[in-house]
Amino acid sequence: MSNVHESAPTPGDRVSASVFVEAPPAIAFEVFTDQIDTWWRHGMKFRNGARDVSVLHLEGKLGGRLFETIAAGDQAGHVVHTGTVTAWDPPRALQIEWRAVNFAPHEKTTVSVTFEPRRDGTQVTLVHAGWAALPPDHPVRHGQPVRQFITSMGLWWSDQMTSLRMRVAEDRETPWMRVARAEMGVRADPPGSSNPRIGEYHAATNAAGYDDKASWCSSFVHWTLAGVGIRGTGSALARSWLDWGEALDHPRPGCIVVLWRDDPSSWKGHVGFFLRDDGPDVVLLGGNQLGSVCEQHHPRANVLGYRWPAAT
């Protein structure tokens, strides 16, 4: 569970949120930084983009940016730059110079995060400091008195740290998702050439020898699971996964989702890994989505089944 407490030499200057995660510091650091979009909560309380229409990025280097890209809606393509990395010491610590969207150019706060090894895991501690330098009537406080604002900021970060703990726990339960995320951005080549990486996805299926112009969503799922020693269907047909593993009544993070395409009774389909629900849609991480390995929304009405690796 996460703990929140105010620890400030100047009243109202800082909050601290800490959480224990069941993973070594190297993995906790990687999830916090490289996978920040997977655990950073959604919604206007936590992001500038409404609902699930934004992607958060943290560039892992000194001087790297923390920024949010609005992926859909009226502001599609808009980038919100929230912070700059001012200390980078993986897997022990990092520090970010943090600015809210309503900060003046000279105003800033500091977010410092440490990753301390503990027995069977890591204590992640985040300190957000510098609030005392902002005037009591600053718009970032939303009219709240200083102490009330600091309390609300502590709870805000506590929610985020709880989400981080849950994401690390999911990472332990679904090791194939780490393999899949590492492939994000792999893309089919333009006509006239073929991405050899996608040929590798096909290699262990009945599409072996085909290029990236053949449907490769099922081959990607097969290749991803093989990366952690789980046997797939051996077929490049998306619907082959309907007979694989164990059926789930409801989706769980990392499960395989099979969808129909064109017509529910046809042989055509799509398959990917479940990330989350979003209104009437399911959000999947998969291959051959918009021609690449990426996240994509799909209508929940098109779902044929949810599958999980069979117990061994």
User: Is residue 39 pLDDT above 50, yes or no?
Assistant: yes
Cis amide prior to 91 (ω within 30 degrees) = yes
Rounded to 5°, angle at Cα 147 from 146 and 151: 115
User: Is residue 306 pLDDT above 60, yes or no?
Assistant: yes
> What is the per-residue pLDDT across 196-248, written as a single tens digit (0 to 9) for each?
999 999 998 999 999 999 999 999 999 999 999 999 999 999 999 999 999 99
Record the pTM: 0.70
- Do the beta carbons of residue 282 and residue 301 sit within 8 Å? no
Q: How confident is the model at residue 77 (pLDDT cuts 50, 70, 90)?
A: confident
The pLDDT of residue 172:
84
Residue 148 β-bridge partners: none
> What is the per-residue pLDDT across 273-294, written as a single tens digit (0 to 9) for each?
999 888 899 999 999 999 999 9
Can you tell me the mean pLDDT for 124-145? 94
Domain architecture of the chain: domains with CATH: 2-173 (3.30.530.20), 182-308 (3.90.1720.10)
- Do the beta carbons of residue 298 and residue 304 sit within 8 Å? no
The backbone torsions φ and ψ at residue 169, rounded to the nearest 5 degrees and listed phi first, read -65, -40
Of 70, 102, 104, 68, the residue nearest 83 (C-alpha): 68
* Cα separation, 237 vs 281, whole angstroms: 22
* Cα separation, 159 vs 29, whole angstroms: 18
Burial class (CB in 10 A: 0-12, 13-18, 19+), 192: exposed
Retrieve residue 21's tokens.
């995660």
Residue 196, CB-side half-sphere exposure with 13 Å CA sphere: 0
Q: Where are the alpha helices (DSSP H) in the chain?
A: 25-33, 36-39, 146-173, 175-182, 196-202, 217-226
Q: How confident is the model at residue 6 (pLDDT cuts 50, 70, 90)?
A: very low
> What is the per-residue pLDDT across 150-201, written as a single tens digit (0 to 9) for each?
999 999 999 999 999 999 988 888 999 989 998 999 999 999 999 999 999 9
* Cα separation, 55 vs 69, whole angstroms: 5
The pLDDT of residue 44:
84
